[in-house]
Structure 1
């Protein structure tokens, strides 16, 4: 992966407290809360800044930030900490992954506590609030949301004589561009063969990923619209050679290939922005996803949760109210990492800064009306892992698509049956 470095605006940089486990030394009578987040330094710098700013404005509470570079390690450490009875007071997690903790009562619902502090969820975008509502309560408070976008290399587009993507461009135009941009050591398209990347294309074609979004019992990749979408993408990436093969990816992953000018288009969320801002002489921007029948996007959102076993529920809630409020979200917006969940900040210059890449940050906001979320259930991370493993066989190993779809259904259906999908 690209070496991620801390790169924040001067106003944010002054607040940084580092990227290891960080805390201002506590004095007698101080309360210390542990906050665990995931991401490499370029991503977690904003959270360090929030922790420092909160300590300065809330004397008596110290924030011990625990950054974990890899998401898989973050989730493993959370599971181990909960099992051992010593979880962090606050942890940041994606909506597709928090249900495993909510289902066993490990999360203290944050909604009532934030309401008591005067936080009005109506000031936030509805999609992430809904995604973090489980068993009728807002469990965790979203600090961001993002749509999937197309990161594209402006230099490679110009060199190939391909017009830059415009809002509303079609799936056929997207495919044609990917093919024309492929050649001379460059691939036109980089996309992970994962459910979260494929879902918006399926939805745009009028299909669905599961049989019931609220209480799913199976994946529906075998339905006509979904299968047609998968077939088109497999043909584009594998048969047309528009995407790098498994051998090429083993040597350099998609993000690194895009950063080095070997990939013309790359599908990603706002999370990729901080690292790309640090790449010298890379002329890039973002565009909306192509449209087949109707615009569609997939929600990306992380939220702060409070561990039920924390001894500092009130202090944790006050920290979350700050981190997801105007001041906190302005800090993380300046880092480039997030699309703010608070409407006021999302539509401000803190996020829509015309000087910083991407120039077209508005594309993230334009896609919000079309966002859909993936299911929230305890076993969803395992379902995604299996689907990704099998889909990679179709995209990279030449496995027949129908065989892959059948294998996905056989391996994941028991996980739906065993999961608690209460919303």
Structure 2
């Protein structure tokens, strides 16, 4: 994974800024930097039929309904273009449709799919088009989110939402005031009067405190690459052996093992984690909603579901810190199809979709953290009076996000290593950390660098009866 704060792709960012500056200098005047409504154009007598534009989005039915409102708002303000919404259940379905040649004129995508879209020449870079339409790439959008969509010296898609992983905690089971009165380790209160960061030791203390009665359990972290990555990075370890072109996972590195050793002391503790019986009857999220589990890790899209749970009081904190603050994140963007016949109209829609009013419409659903910083600091997103009380924890955590490298077959990698990660976290008894981490790395190489992990039967014979001159060379 690419460490955004320290290892950002500087060349891509610089090239992006040059491209934007060039467009700004060549434009015929200063565009409005804050579009608040869809641009309108008077129809000519010879062309009174609105031009048709399609927009594709994925998500829950509530998110899709909010996107429909954005589409309706654009259509209401334009007599020459009509946008029609197409929806998919998830980003995998969207990607498959786009790569199959069925791309809408503009569409939502996940950052993890960007390399496939660019390699397939499926997207038209948007930097110049959006700059011409007054989209401000400066302080009005998360720089980390924008940079995540920079590739080949271009902004390939416009950052839309960015959601870091955080810890959700039950405020009844994890009562920091009560813990403090008992002299337990608790996070400090900041100048604004709330707790905005904590250490791994304080995280462990909260898990133990919540488990003190025996029925409720303190914490569950999914035994996956996604679940363990924040702890590894916070302990100054590495998930991959290379941030840009990985050939293996790096779980057997000394620094990664050290981070895992500290983390697993909590996650493998059967007195603070759910029992097998609990997990057999309910998912960790369900246990959390029922008040049987004090802490889980997740993204912003959990908020609406948790708000609907009966008698659940919850808030959020960043992922705990071992050495340095770190988390991972889910980033989405709006792309322009390379094959669109109405690219200008589609670019108009994207500019409208990332404007304050349009983004506020989707942010009020609670599912996303807007990449638009104005909306992310507004009541539409922060939702005073609704849980969690400190939604700003999400936006504060963006700067500490690790963005993963592009993996050609991400699902194959997950399938290859997940059983070993489950063993790492949940297998009872004594853990041989060195052995399991070596096995994890070996399993990952079969996906990330299969040409280097061929079986002995696939390699040239080294029989002593044949001299090099008598045997065929590997290239023949």
Fold-level similarity (TM above 0.5): yes
Q: TM-score, normalised by structure 1?
A: 0.83
Uncovered stretches (5+) of structure 2, i.e. residues with no partner: 1-46, 181-185, 188-194, 452-476
The structural deviation recorded for 1:155 is: 1.5
Query: Mean alpha-carbon deviation: is it higher for 135-144 or for 192-201?
Result: 192-201
List structure 1 runs of 4+ shifted beyond 6 angstroms: none
Matched, 1:216 2:233: no
Deviation for aligned residue 1:341: 0.9
Query: Following superposition of structure 1 onto structure 2, how do residues 22-171 of structure 1 map, counting pairs within 5 Å?
Result: 29-69=49-89, 71=90, 74-76=91-93, 78-83=95-100, 85-122=101-138, 123-158=140-175, 161-162=178-179, 165=187, 166-171=195-200
Alignment partner of 1:257: what SS? helix
Q: Which moved more, 1:304-313 or 1:283-292?
A: 304-313
2:224 — aligned with what? Answer: 194
- SS of match in other structure, 2:364: helix
Tell me what 1:205 maps to. Answer: 235
- 2 CA distance for matches of 1:81 and 1:93? 10
> 2:370 and 2:67 mapped to 1: Cα distance?
13
Larger radius of gyration: 2
What is the Cα deviation at residue 174 of structure 1? 0.6
CA distance in 2, matches of 1:44, 1:338: 12
After superposition, what is the alpha-carbon deviation per residue over 1:349-404, rounded to whole angstroms, capped at 9, x for unaligned?
Answer: 22223222211112122223322322134444543453434312322345754444
Contact kept? 2:172, 2:313, Cα under 8 Å: yes
Distance in 2 between the 1:250 and 1:87 partners?
Answer: 41
Once structures 1 and 2 are overlaid, which stretch shifts more, 143-152 or 303-312? 303-312
CA separation of 1:234/1:65 partners in 2, compared to 1, >3 Å: closer, same or farther? farther
Residues 1:245 and 1:315: Cα distance change in structure 2 (over 3 Å) = farther
Per-residue Cα deviation, 1:80-139 (whole angstroms, up to 9, x for no partner): 5522x2223333222123222222222222222212222232231111111111222111
Equivalent-residue separation in structure 2 for 1:245 and 1:98 (angstroms)? 39
CA deviation map 1:37-71 (0-9, x unaligned): 332223333222222222222333333333333x3
Matching residue within 144, 169, 173 for 2:202: 173
Pair 1:244–1:159, CA change in 2 (3 A): same
**Structure 1: runs of 5 or more not aligned:** 1-26
**CA gap 1:317/1:411 in 2 versus in 1, 3 angstroms:** farther
Secondary structure of 1:53's match?
A: helix
Classify 1:133/1:158 alpha carbon distance in 2 versus 1 (closer, same or farther; 3 Å).
Answer: same
- 1:327 maps to 2:357: yes
What is the distance in 1 between the residues matched to 2:450 and 2:137? 32
Cα 1:397/1:107, change in 2 over 3 Å: farther
- Does the CA contact (< 8 Å) of 1:34 and 1:65 recur in 2? yes
Cα distance in 1, alignment partners of residues 310 and 281 from structure 2: 21
- Paired residue for 1:231? 261
Corresponding residue of 1:295: 325
Q: Is the 8 A contact 1:298 1:373 kept in 2?
A: yes
CA contact (8 A) 1:324 1:342 kept: yes
1:264 is displaced (CA, Å) by 0.5
CA–CA separation in structure 1 for the residues paired with 2:176 and 2:311: 15
Q: Provide the C-alpha distance between the structure 2 equivalents of 1:330 and 1:144, rounded to a whole number of angstroms.
A: 12
The CA distance in 1 between the partners of 2:223 and 2:305, in whole Å, is 22
Aligned length: 389
Matched residue, 1:23? none
Partner-residue secondary structure (3-state), 1:152: strand
SS for the counterpart of 1:33 is: strand
Deviates more, 1:197-206 or 1:56-65: 56-65
TM-score (norm 2): 0.74
CA root-mean-square deviation: 2.8
Question: For the Cα contact (< 8 Å) 2:58–2:87, is it kept in 1?
Answer: yes
Alignment partners' CA distance in 1, 2:294 and 2:228: 19
Contact 2:144/2:399 (<8 A) preserved: no
